[in-house]
Chains A and B, each alone.
Chain A
Amino acid sequence: MKIVFSTSGDNLDAPLDGRFGRAPKFLVYDLETDACEVVDNLQNLQAAQGAGVQAASTVARLGAAAVVTGHCGPKAFRVLSSAGIKVYTCAAPTVGAALALYREGKLLEAQAADVEGHWA
């Protein structure tokens, strides 16, 4: 199972980015093989609007089953949940710390967006 983390870096020591749609990168972690891959989110970082929507669609294409990020807005949440992707929001300092929390079952699945959306 693949799990996606929003981040500004390239490895598990990198900070977990508090933003989802406008995070610079996504780290895709495979829980079975412990392999990780980093996907650039530059295009959405610079999008005039709909960054969350596109980022969610990117995550869906990556075949991830869950997203761990700082916050998730309503439009991204709608896309993620319609694709059957679980959302976990947390304040862990690094990707590695967030991964540890996930493995320990200490992350609570979000039932709704935890921040307001942006119009444009």
Chain B
Amino acid sequence: MIIAIASGKGGTGKTTLAVNLARAFDADIQLLDCDVEEPNAHLFLPAEPRERTVVTMPIPEVDARLCDGCGECARVCRYNAIVGAGAAPLVFPELCHGCGGCAYICPRKAIREVPKRIGVIETFRSGKIDLVHGRLDVGVAMAPPLIRAVKDRRRNGAPAIIDAPPGTSCPVVAAIQGAEAVVLVTEPTPFGLHDLALAVDLVRAFRLPFGVVVNRAGSGDDRVRLFCAREKIPLLAEIPDDRRIAEAYARGALIVEALPEYRAGFLDLRAKIEGLRREVAA
């Protein structure tokens, strides 16, 4: 089963949930850290990288000798990454999404795609967890191609947990696509609720089964709970606002190891997530 852990708001506990869920699973599982702008799951699963691979994306290169300046390439690019200005078009690699449309449409075959490095993928093994994460190069803004490259490492049929980036924009879409269930982690604050509502709209647009986990429950108010009841969203679990959890986190320790009394809660959560998928299938 592929479970994506997402949230609207950042810092609600996606990674905390992802690493603890993976550890509580206690069988071979892949953890795909798709927060490629700041991957951090490895901080909780200490291990040396086993493998490092450079990831590139294709960007256009124009052969000015073949170009007749027809401007078809610029017309087809909705990201304004290639623009005709009289003679041969100018390319702006930092705006390119790598779709290849310009090279495809060029009647003179004057455009070829060349690889541009955007980051690396690193893999780690910690106990029964195979961690794969992407790390975007500094100065690169195009996260989705690297996120897709991380997800391409998923072994068919093997259980996987995807740690998604925060927000509700393209990188999140790239991360949650193909998941069989999505867990939205939030906190019981007005900010948590506001961004949770945006994330709910997103997963509903993709028709993915989903539920909510409230982290630091008891630290804020009731509004997230009321929202979930009103919207008929399953509240899968509440992680209490327990100082010992924060202390374990600060040490880079897993909750399920430092505070074994929470282990049962994570196993129960896992069962409920699997139930989400069954409900939809039924």
Give the interface of A toward B (CB within 8 A).
Answer: 47-51, 53-54, 56-57, 60, 75, 78-80, 82-84, 119-120
Query: Across the interface, do A57 and B85 meet the contact criterion of CB distance under 8 Å?
Result: yes
Question: Secondary structure of the B side of the interface?
Answer: loop
Choose among A51, A83, A119 the residue that contacts B80 (Cβ–Cβ < 8 A). Answer: A51
Q: Could you tell me the distance between the alpha carbons of A75 and B90 in the complex, rounded to whole angstroms?
A: 10
Please judge, given known A-B contacts A48-B79, A83-B85, whether A119 and B90 are in contact too, CB under 8 Å: no
Q: Is the C-beta of B157 less than 8 angstroms from some C-beta in chain A?
A: no
Query: Across the interface, do B80 and A54 meet the contact criterion of CB distance under 8 Å?
Result: yes
Q: Is the C-beta of B83 less than 8 angstroms from some C-beta in chain A?
A: yes
Q: Is the C-beta of B260 less than 8 angstroms from some C-beta in chain A?
A: no
Q: Could you tell me the distance between the alpha carbons of A64 and B79 in the complex, rounded to whole angstroms?
A: 24
Query: Across the interface, do B85 and A50 meet the contact criterion of CB distance under 8 Å?
Result: no
Interface mask (B48-64 → A, CB under 8 Å = 1, otherwise 0): 00000000000000000
Query: Across the interface, do B95 and A50 meet the contact criterion of CB distance under 8 Å?
Result: yes
Query: Across the interface, do A49 and B85 meet the contact criterion of CB distance under 8 Å?
Result: no
Q: Could you tell me the distance between the alpha carbons of A82 and B142 in the complex, rounded to whole angstroms?
A: 26
Q: Is the C-beta of B104 less than 8 angstroms from some C-beta in chain A?
A: no
Question: Secondary structure of the A side of the interface?
Answer: helix
Query: Across the interface, do A120 and B141 meet the contact criterion of CB distance under 8 Å?
Result: yes
CB-defined contacts of B79 to chain A, threshold 8 Å: 48-50
Query: Across the interface, do A120 and B95 meet the contact criterion of CB distance under 8 Å?
Result: yes
Complex: chain B residue closest to A74, CB-CB: B92
Query: Across the interface, do B90 and A78 meet the contact criterion of CB distance under 8 Å?
Result: yes
CB-defined contacts of B90 to chain A, threshold 8 Å: 78-79, 82
CB-defined contacts of B94 to chain A, threshold 8 Å: 119
Size category of the binding interface on chain B: 10 to 19
Choose among A53, A56, A57, A84 the residue that contacts B95 (Cβ–Cβ < 8 A). Answer: A53
Q: List B70-95 residues whose CB lies under 8 Å from chain A.
A: 74, 79-81, 83-87, 90, 92, 94-95
Q: Which of the listed residues B80, B81, B86, B142 has the most CB atoms from chain A within 10 Å of its own CB?
A: B80
CB-defined contacts of A75 to chain B, threshold 8 Å: 92, 95
* Least Cβ–Cβ distance between A28 and chain B, in angstroms: 17
CB-defined contacts of A80 to chain B, threshold 8 Å: 85
Complex: chain B residue closest to A44, CB-CB: B80
Query: Across the interface, do B86 and A53 meet the contact criterion of CB distance under 8 Å?
Result: no
Closest 3 CB pairs of A and B: A50-B80, A119-B141, A83-B85
Complex: chain A residue closest to B143, CB-CB: A120
Q: Could you tell me the distance between the alpha carbons of A57 and B85 in the complex, rounded to whole angstroms?
A: 6
Query: Across the interface, do A57 and B92 meet the contact criterion of CB distance under 8 Å?
Result: no
Q: Could you tell me the distance between the alpha carbons of A119 and B142 in the complex, rounded to whole angstroms?
A: 9
Q: Could you tell me the distance between the alpha carbons of A51 and B78 in the complex, rounded to whole angstroms?
A: 11
Query: Across the interface, do A60 and B85 meet the contact criterion of CB distance under 8 Å?
Result: yes
Query: Across the interface, do B141 and A50 meet the contact criterion of CB distance under 8 Å?
Result: no
Query: Across the interface, do B141 and A56 meet the contact criterion of CB distance under 8 Å?
Result: no
* Least Cβ–Cβ distance between A47 and chain B, in angstroms: 7
Query: Across the interface, do A83 and B141 meet the contact criterion of CB distance under 8 Å?
Result: no
Could you write out 24 A-B pairs with CB less than 8 Å apart?
A47-B80, A48-B79, A50-B79, A50-B80, A50-B81, A50-B83, A50-B92, A50-B95, A51-B80, A53-B92, A56-B83, A57-B74, A57-B85, A60-B85, A60-B86, A78-B90, A79-B85, A82-B87, A83-B86, A84-B86, A119-B94, A119-B95, A119-B141, A120-B142
Complex: chain B residue closest to A83, CB-CB: B85
Complex: chain A residue closest to B140, CB-CB: A119
Query: Across the interface, do B92 and A56 meet the contact criterion of CB distance under 8 Å?
Result: no
Q: List B151-165 residues whose CB lies under 8 Å from chain A.
A: none
* Least Cβ–Cβ distance between B22 and chain A, in angstroms: 31
* Least Cβ–Cβ distance between B167 and chain A, in angstroms: 13
